[in-house]
Amino acid sequence: MKHIEQLNKIIETNVKFALLDDIQWEIGNLEYKNNIHDDLKAIKIIIQTISLDAKKKSEPYLVKKPIVKDGSVTHQKTGENIDDYFNGIFNLSNELISSINSPALRARLYDLKFITSRENKYENSQLALKSYSEIPLSIETWRMIDTPIFIRRALTLSTQTKNQDLFNLIATNVYNLILNTNDIDESYTLLQMVMLLNDFSFFKEHDFNSIAEKLIKNTQDEKFAQDKLYIYVHCYEIYSKIADKKILGINILFNGIENIVGETTPIFTNHSYLIRLKKILESKIPIMQRSSLNYEELMKLLQNKISIAGKDMIDKINKNEGEKIDITDLVDSHLNLIKDLDLNESLNKLFNFQKNKIFFNTLEKFSQKDLREPLLFSSLFNNETAYSADGRIIHNSPPRPETLDNEDLIKNYLTYRNFFWFNQLFTYHVFSSIFPAFDFIINKFKNEINENFISDLIDNSALVPEDRKELFKLGIGYGFNFKFCEAIHILAPQLENLVRVQLQTLGVSTIVYDKETSVQNEIGLSSLMQKPEVSQLFDENTIFEIKALFTENIGFNLRNNVAHGLLNDNSINRIDTFYAWLLVLRIISLNKI
């Protein structure tokens, strides 16, 4: 028991509320200074490696091992059976667990025993519930990342084991906390609690009107102006679950959006927001209710504002407005690196400027920061939208993951953010080094960069297929003459063919079969770039560049735009076509220069 007393001492002095991470950290500190009991080591390992997804009713616990990379910690699934894993490292009796003075830790251990052991299952579930109910509940404790997760798990477990008394106790404690909190700065926290209770249909039996009034009143404060929609929508969703309150929910949503539309200026930054308002009205307001509301008039006003905002967006894109940055010193420093080199050495250095690892590391760092340090309310309206040249929406961003323990969601989000930051920093990357160096090379070696030089470059490239050499010579030649749009119309499909041919040499099938017609079709560049064998052809950053320039909607999508005639006269001098041309030149020159 001495080791439990030791554990209780550090819990009392150094651990905040329900934070299990604090407990395992303090056990680790203790272990660093002294030898510790195996039970404490087991508790530390359990906290570190067993993850709770409270939204899952079955199999809520997974074994995940921490992976440290570039100073950040992520957790990856191991596939180990939770029953075997937990029982293999933990053998504390219920008597010992009951003496631990952290209700959060007691709840976790009892809950895991309930999940993983066939013996005393109901007893362990009720001991877990009792411990969950003893976790201190206040605005301050709710901000601790573990508390909302524990409360959700407690409500799920009490429902599964049909312990209505403890369900009511825990849910009512949350409900009363919402009612008794009047600080407007806690609106987001209160809304989290409300949505948690709504997931368990709590408001079918309890009054929601006073809470709705409080939340809607808070939207009048300027600091929450952009979050009105979120509150209106969720009030609507809660009332929609209450049989005699559905009309009230519809009216709250409609009147709220009507106010938002009236207050929203039709400028380019509000374009996607206005479109979202329109979609919500169309999907949430039943046809039968529209005649009793100002629906048609509001939709006309909304559509007019969408059109005005769309035109403003296109104007801003065409003008390319933005804050000017002095890059003179940076340009000069790059030019100094090539001024004394010959043509081949200069081109090689130019390729290095384009491949600048610092640039790509910056994209990754910014994306990781977006994942781990979201702004207040950023999770509510974090969907950026990509537009085509004619104003069409062609891509909506994935939402930021609510938790950091789902590798698939994290990977998807980080991939998107990398493309996003590539777009944001692209112009700076090009004009601070790449284009000035290219312009310098063209002027210095204008007599050497001729038809013979280009022919020699293409003829000696192992990557250019024999039956495509003339097309590559034409496309590369256009680029050396600053005709990048013409160049990319030739080179985009040829790059696709190049990738296809190289994959075929690795034994990769690039064909899809239509079973009904027996027709064999070649897959496009986007699908080719998803093949895992692509990593044998290009390094990670080059793969990213090809996707960002040629295949991704959130990127420049040049392969699609060329194929479907979507590049217009404004494309002639666009820097994305220059960068894409140089990328193709770099790829085919790797074995030559």
Instruction: Quote the CA–CA distance of 581 and 494 in Å, as a whole number.
Output: 12
- Is the distance from CB of 576 to CB of 583 less than 8 angstroms? no
- The per-residue pLDDT for range 121-145, each reduced to its tens digit, is 999 999 999 999 999 899 888 877 7
| Residue listed under structure tokens 């039996």 | 205
- Is the distance from CB of 371 to CB of 414 less than 8 angstroms? yes
**Positive or negative: CA dihedral 322, 326, 330, 334:** positive
Closest of 260, 269, 262, 266 to residue 307, by C-alpha: 266
CA 538 vs CA 11, 106, 542: distances in Å:
51, 51, 6
Task: Collect all residues with Cβ–Cβ distance below 8 Å to 70 and sequence separation of at least 6.
Answer: 364, 368
- Is the distance from CB of 132 to CB of 122 less than 8 angstroms? no
Q: Tell me the whole-structure pTM to 2 decimals.
A: 0.54
**In the chain, which residues have pLDDT < 70?**
1, 10, 13-18, 65-79, 221-227, 313-314, 316-325, 373-397, 402-405, 515, 568-573, 591-593
* pLDDT recorded at residue 271: 79
- Is the distance from CB of 43 to CB of 15 less than 8 angstroms? no
Instruction: Quote the CA–CA distance of 282 and 295 in Å, as a whole number.
Output: 10
Instruction: Quote the CA–CA distance of 334 and 429 in Å, as a whole number.
Output: 12
* pLDDT recorded at residue 70: 47
N-terminal to C-terminal alpha carbon distance within the chain: 71
Residue type, 194: V
| Residue listed under structure tokens 């009991």 | 37
* pLDDT recorded at residue 375: 46
3-state secondary structure of 359: helix
Instruction: Quote the CA–CA distance of 88 and 260 in Å, as a whole number.
Output: 57
Q: Are strands 61-69 and 72-77 parallel, antiparallel or unpaired?
A: antiparallel
Tell me the two tokens of residue 204.
């079918």
* pLDDT recorded at residue 379: 42
* pLDDT recorded at residue 74: 52
* pLDDT recorded at residue 377: 39
Tell me the two tokens of residue 126.
């009720």
